[in-house]
Structure 1
Amino acid sequence: RIEERLAAVEYLVKETTLRNELVLHIKQAGDVERLAAKVPLKKINPREVLQVARGLQQTETIKALSVSSSNAYLVRLADSLNPCRYILEKIISQINENPPAAINKGGLIRTGINAELDELRDIASGGKNYLLELQQRESEATGINSLKIGYNNVFGYYLEVTNLHKNKVPESWIRKQTLTNAERYITPELKVYEEKILGAEDSILQIEQHLFQELLNELQDFISPMQVNGQVMAVIDCLCCFANNALQFNYKRPQIHEGDELSLTASRHPVIERNLPPGESYISNDILLNSSNQQIIILTGPNMSGKSAILRQTALITLMAHMGSFVPAASASIPLTDKIFTRVGASDNLSGGESTFMVEMNETASIINNLSARSLIILDEIGRGTSTYDGISIAWSIAEFLNRSPHKPKTLFATHYHELNELEERSSGIKNFHVTNKEQGNKIIFLRKLAPGGSTHSFGIHVARMAGMP
């Protein structure tokens, strides 16, 4: 699986046009999984439903682009994508192009979907035209040329007929009011229309809400494929991101193997190198760890020299390689690793009644009790939270335990206890390295380059002076 991802990243590095198109369409698809999660809760609004459809349209394009590629992993991922044509077409055909954010705002259903809705909209927006048509039709049917339609608050809409023509009034008309020169009538059609025009807005809202709920009910059947789409697009997006990083930051493809040797050439810290001042380049370092002759590196050097950065970049590069990403190194040969253990930094757990030293010991014990032959262990200044004598004893015994363990886990051990340099002579597989520095008068210059051999000075006083201590 790791090699599969690495091959896909390498393919996307070379296929710039395909990568850019995939990134563009994934961005336009929106947050597919978040929208899918809103559907069963009925908390999705009309704009989001339309975005679901747009996401499905982008899914179709992404599927076509990936299927046409020559990378087997991308083709297999694309095979899992489902554009859900039925619900896609239904949403596009029913929801307006610019729907409101809330259902109760109205205007979210397209014209031509529901005949009653279209009629009510015509009534609400073109009521006067309908009344004129009705007046013209009734006038022609009865021969009453002076017929007119009016409205009052007592009995609503009515037909007014002058006394001259009242003998032409059909029997189906109902007389409601008699005036000096005219009589007022209502008809069943006029009353039905009156109810429609007065309740048109409410009815429009109810019908739209009903149609929208029906659409959401159908959409629920497609939640599962939509979630799969979201997950697959996330994987493709991640692979494209890895490819972009590889090009932008000069990362190289690592070699993953089933042996036990970890070899990094010109390795860099992926975060620190991005935050360096302009014009300053990161000092790269080579790392070699194996179970035969260099299982544990005891790393010494001044404070502020970059020991922790070397430890962390080794762990990060191993992790990045197992993710399927290219790594910040000129070359990297990395064994399959099941666990990366780290004991870095200082923190306490006062609420749990644990001091900084107790937390450190708990974490170290967890490492020792759970390591394996394929583990990578990063230890930074173990034992510093207690007295010097006790700290050296603990650090020494941990290094010896790891060295004598049948699993022979690969270990980087940074320390200021220079006494640990003696372990190289006492135990095979333990090697001393230090981070180089240069003294100029009373100043110290950190060269940040890893070199064989132990260091005998930590230059803590010099670092304190740099920090502004009087």
Structure 2
Amino acid sequence: MSDSGPGIIPAVGGLMHHVTDLEIEKQLLPLLDFTGNPYALQQLKDLLLHLPGSSAAVYERQAIIKALINNGYVLTGPNYSRQDFEEVYAFFGRLNSQTIYYDSNPAIAAFQLAWRRRYRYEVKGKLIQLVLMMERLHQYFDGVEATVFPDVLAKRITAMKVFLQQFRAAEMADHIRNDAFGLRDQVFLLDLLNRQLEEEEVKIQWETFFLYEAWLSLAKAMVKHNFSFPEFQEGGLTMKAFYHPLLKQPVKNDLTATGNVMLLTGPNMSGKSTLLKAIGLCVYLAHAGMGVPAAYCRLPFFGSITISINLSDDLKNGYSHFMMEVQQLKQVLLQASAGKKCFAIFDELFRGTNVDDALDISRQTISGLAAFNNSFFVISTHLYQLKPFVTSASAYYIDCVLHENMPRFLYTLKPGWSDLKIGWIIFEQEGLPALLGI
């Protein structure tokens, strides 16, 4: 993560996204991780946390994933063991740090190898590991057509192929398998690694490999989870069959919002917070250039994304829950007032104050937010008293029915308001009236 602070995700365009409550690293990253080493995983994390600054850059990311899927590369991958990778990668590091050094004269280097019995077999073993891994990588990337990718990745793949050819891995691997991997081969590789290859070039090619594997991981995740590519449009938000990807048996919902303020109601435990996170994840992943957990998704390109669901007191700065709500809303309004297209989710906005205050403030807030027609705001609320006063927002509720005085949660999103109250029912079911002597 960047130095911007916890939960604050930088975009290339310079804006900050407040998305702590989506739990991207804790929950989403493991769902998308099909990498084979920690450095590729870090690249995957960087792709998730650093959002492009324009819709064009987002579509470029989509094009990379589409190329991996459409050309069948998603069905395969570089075939190597994690242990082999770690030892080969560490061996490169030892060479760069001059922990292992041999003379530039091949004859002298051969003598050094023969004389230094302490290192001779160790170095030979590491070189064999290196050759076999380079052979696997060369075989894989030899089958990858660079021209099917956008230039930003195509050039790096082309350079990677040239880099791998220098190891003559197929020839060396054949010598190894025929027990003919002698001093001449070992001296050739040591000279290549110590003197012919620039340290910066080696670093760049490792980074290309890690980056490619991160993209491949995203493509595999998209196929495995049946995500779809979103499209950007001016105004309006449409999602079909969207869901939260961590649920094993999710209820999929549709949403078509033509206005820019959406109110969400529903009783406790009806799934409002989960649905808000599902919407937030679709919006966030769309802006990361990735597939989204929905059958169809069209939305505007937003310059700022704020997700406020699990808001709590800020003890360090002495802020109460209500003050945190106000500060979060203020930051969104400042960006919207500056002309930024903002997307924001507020769960139970103003629950940190009394009902009368919350009702008055909510009415004015919703009316004011409606004026920022380039932005989109989602607000969940228990303030059913808002219904007669709010005409500038589209209202939705999560369905719940009573069956034999027992709440049955359907988790389906419907247009309109919910006036179902189940608090007292649950209160009675848990036997609290008897415990309280009521």
Q: Which TM-score band (shorter chain)?
A: 0.5 to 0.7
Q: C-alpha distance in 1, partners of 2:190/2:255? A: 61
The one-letter amino acid of 1:265's match is K
2:311 corresponds in structure 1 to 346
Residue deviations 1:116-156 (CA, integer Å, cap 9, x gap):
xxxxxxxxxxxxxxxxxxxxxxxxxxxxxxxxxxxxxxxxx
Equivalent residue, structure 2, for 1:409: 375
Bigger relative contact order, structure 1 or 2 (CA pairs below 8 A, ≥6 apart): 2
Contact 1:299 1:432 in 2 (8 A): yes
Instruction: Report whether the alignment pairs 1:229 with 2:205.
Output: yes
User: Residues of 2 paired with 1:304 and 1:67: CA distance?
Assistant: 51
Tell me which residue corresponds to 1:30: 85
Equivalent in 58, 65, 71 of residue 2 of structure 1: 58
Q: Indicate if the aligned counterparts of 2:146 and 2:155 stay in contact, CA closer than 8 A.
A: no
**8 A contact 1:295–1:411 mirrored in 2:** yes
- Equivalences for residues 59-458 of structure 1 within 5 A: 59-67=137-145, 70-72=148-150, 75-81=154-160, 84=163, 88=167, 112=183, 218=195, 222-257=198-233, 259-272=234-247, 276=248, 281-290=249-258, 294-371=259-336, 372-405=339-372, 407-425=373-391, 427=392, 430-458=393-421
Residue 399 (structure 1) shift:
1.7
Q: Aligned AA for 2:363?
A: W
| TM-score of the two chains, using structure 2 as the length reference | 0.66
Q: CA deviation at 1:271?
A: 1.9
Work out the percentage of aligned pairs sharing the same amino acid: 21
CA distance in 1, matches of 2:429, 2:210: 46
- Which one is further off, 75-84 or 308-317? 75-84
Please say if residues 311 and 321 of structure 2, whose CA atoms lie closer than 8 Å, have aligned partners that are also in contact.
yes
In structure 1, C-alpha distance between the alignment counterparts of 2:299 and 2:81, rounded to whole Å: 32
Separation in structure 2 between the aligned mates of residue 440 and residue 319 of structure 1, nearest angstrom? 37
Residue 79 of structure 1 deviates from its aligned partner by 2.2
CA RMSD across the alignment: 4.1
Query: Contact 1:252–1:327 (CA<8 Å) still a contact in 2?
Result: yes
Shift of 1:9: 2.5
Give structure 1 stretches of 5+ with no counterpart. Answer: 98-109, 115-211
1:421-451 deviation per Cα after TM superposition (whole angstroms, max 9, x unaligned): 23433x3xx1111111111122111111111
CA distance in 2, matches of 1:348, 1:48: 54
Q: Which residue number corresponds to residue 172 of structure 1?
A: none
Task: Compute the displacement of 1:350 (Å).
Answer: 1.8
**Displacement after TM superposition at 1:53 (Å):** 6.1
Q: Provide structure 2 residue ranges, at least 5 long, that are not aligned to the other structure.
A: 1-56, 101-121
Q: Give, in whole Å, the separation in 1 of the partners of 2:149 and 2:193.
A: 37
How big is the shift at 1:391? 2.2
Aligned to 2:41: none
Which residue type is aligned with residue 450 of structure 1? Answer: L
In terms of mean alpha carbon deviation, does 452-461 or 313-322 score higher?
452-461
Corresponding residue SS for 2:350: coil
Q: Is the 8 A contact 2:332 2:342 kept in 1?
A: no
Equivalent position amino acid for 2:308 in 1: R
Task: Note if contact 2:236-2:260 (Cα within 8 Å) is conserved in structure 1.
Answer: no
Residues of 2 paired with 1:255 and 1:270: CA distance? 19
Larger radius of gyration: 1
Distance 2:93 2:417 in 1: 57
Residues in 1 aligned to 2:77 and 2:141: alpha-carbon distance in whole angstroms: 10
Q: 1:19 aligned to 2:98?
A: no
Counterpart residue number, 1:186: none
Compute the TM-score of the two structures, normalised by the length of structure 1: 0.62
Q: Tell me, in whole angstroms, the C-alpha distance in 2 between the residues paired with 1:59 and 1:328.
A: 32
**CA shift digits 1:7-47 (9 cap, x unpaired):** 3323433444x333334369688369888777766689968
Q: Report the AA paired with residue 255 of structure 1.
A: E
